Structure 1
């Protein structure tokens, strides 16, 4: 499925919708995106206030180039449909739907968004955080084949997966690797971006960096975060390195030469490169340029 304009999603920070100061601070942080949360981070007696604050913050804008996403409560809760209507009217870049376990949920939310008059640019992001989501991940991703469903991104909910499966968090995340990799594969099959789950220990910088590197190596576009102190590391790990960008430009330039227009492979600086490497390189360069454009 064709994507909307390519944008970096190295770092996407959760901000509690009930905390007005946090919502304002989000406008100043070096993050590619913010998730203004109405679900887990908000107590039941603060749900209505949080909804009003998040909708007002989205309408007021001021987030600059940061992608603005609102996470609603589930539609099976007392707050979900009101959240959806309020955010649809406010018009964020995307609405994040929790505990998606079937494609039917995506279709339903997209239909409700359209009925509520959400702008066409507002996308749907889906939390992957239940055992059923993992079992149905290909079918859920396939909802992106219909543009009316607005589906653009998966977000891993590793804490909920741990709770539901009783899997333990280990330094290498071995119990989660299959779920993570399967979700990446499904996302890529249907042209979706995908973000890794949060790292819970704010003080463990080395552990956080290692998990970012693992997520990058598994194919994730970026990481969801719980604290601003994690931003610099996520931004660094999920960005192409200067060497990667330079090598990508070298490959692209070589295949763009007229004498190489009909060649599928070249020998370049002692390495064999194929045309697919030029295609990969174009994405690396595009992401690097998008990061640079953020300033």
Structure 2
């Protein structure tokens, strides 16, 4: 996990124009709430949803440590209006989720617009970007998307639109392995978080649990949820065990001891040589356990 990212084991998306759902989401133990201006909001409600953002942020005590806004996609009539509205919102807004990202140019468009909007608003800190990849074009261009902006924090795989883009009918998790691997490789190559998209159902049944375990075992940092009942399962799956946390502490302690010596050399922990790859894994474990401070 990169040094500029926050843990996103579980992310819950809620419609920005539904005060009841927003209020309920604010009370949930989840790593990130995503207020949705895109798919969950009808075209005739876009302006109302955008206006509701101010109320949601000003009048809500969020239990989640991170709150994001999913804006409308580049090239839509609403994208620039959404981004300008987000720039006027200070903390706890930390990132915008940009849907249907298909090229580096899409990310660069958002980056440039935020630059100007933040200056106009006198914003105290920059807004990060999370790129939601959900088309065949986006999959093909993942390497360039991942390198497009220093604002970029996260790559997210979106299954519903991607299934439509590919013409895919099967819900078998094995059919998504190439897309999952491609997103993981691009994210890891550029020090970004990799998030698995939501299970396409409102239940928390065995198939949902299998999809969560699959994403965890592949190496994803977290997963989106679309119903509150799914959140506990997702958070638990991506939370390191006590044994993993103890191992990671040992690695970091050994690293600190090594670098504090006059001649820093190789060090072993329980017979394992501690190299940079091991340290990266240990830091990711502690970050997901919320024991590593990351802004």
- TM, length-normalised to structure 1: 0.88
1:161 matched to which residue of 2? 162
- Which position in structure 2 is the counterpart of 1:82? 81
- Deviation of 1:129 (Å): 0.4
Aligned to 2:272: 272
1:207-286 paired onto structure 2 within 5 Å: 207-254=207-254, 256-257=256-257, 262-264=264-266, 266=268, 268=270, 271-275=271-275, 276-286=277-287
Contact 2:286-2:292 within 8 A present in 1 as well: no
Measured in 1, the distance between the counterparts of 2:163 and 2:293 equals 36
Counterpart CA distance in 2 for 1:251 and 1:114 is 39
Q: Is residue 10 of structure 1 aligned with residue 9 of structure 2?
A: yes
What corresponds to 2:116 in structure 1? Answer: 115
Q: Does the Cα contact within 8 Å between 1:155 and 1:197 map onto a contact in 2?
A: yes
Kindly indicate whether the alpha-carbon contact (under 8 Å) linking 2:97 and 2:131 is maintained by their aligned counterparts in 1. Answer: yes
Q: CA deviation at 1:102?
A: 0.6
Deviations 1:96-143 (A, max 9, x none): 111110101111111111111263331111110011111100001011
CA contact (8 A) 1:32 1:67 kept: yes
- Correspondence for 1:139: 144
User: Does structure 1 residue 287 correspond to structure 2 residue 259?
Assistant: no
Give structure 2 stretches of 5+ with no counterpart. none
Other structure's SS at 1:93 match: strand
The alpha carbon displacement at 1:79 in A equals 2.0
Name the count of aligned residue pairs: 285
The structure-2 alpha-carbon separation of the partners of 1:134 and 1:263, relative to structure 1 and needing over 3 Å to count, comes to: same
User: Could you say what secondary structure the match of 1:143 adopts?
Assistant: coil
When the two structures are superposed, what TM-score results if normalisation uses the length of structure 2?
Answer: 0.88
Alignment correspondent of 1:124: 129
Please tell me whether the aligned partners of residues 168 and 175 of structure 1 are also in contact (alpha carbons under 8 angstroms).
no
Q: Deviations over 1:123-166 (max 9, x none)?
A: 1111100111111000010113xx3xx11111211111101101
- Higher helix residue share: 1
Residue 40 (structure 2) aligns with: 41
Residue 199 of structure 1 is matched in structure 2 by 199
RMSD: 2.5
What is the deviation of 1:278? 3.8
Question: Closer, same or farther in 2 for the Cα pair 1:115/1:251, shift >3 Å?
Answer: closer
Q: Secondary structure at the match of 1:200?
A: coil
Distance (Å, rounded) in 2 between the aligned partners of 1:112 and 1:40: 22
**In 2 relative to 1, CA 36–267 (structure 1 residues): closer, same or farther, beyond 3 Å?**
closer
In structure 2, the CA distance between the partners of 1:110 and 1:205, relative to structure 1 (3 Å rule), is same
- Deviation track 1:219-263 (CA, whole Å, cap 9, x = no partner) reads 211001100000110110001111111122234444555699755
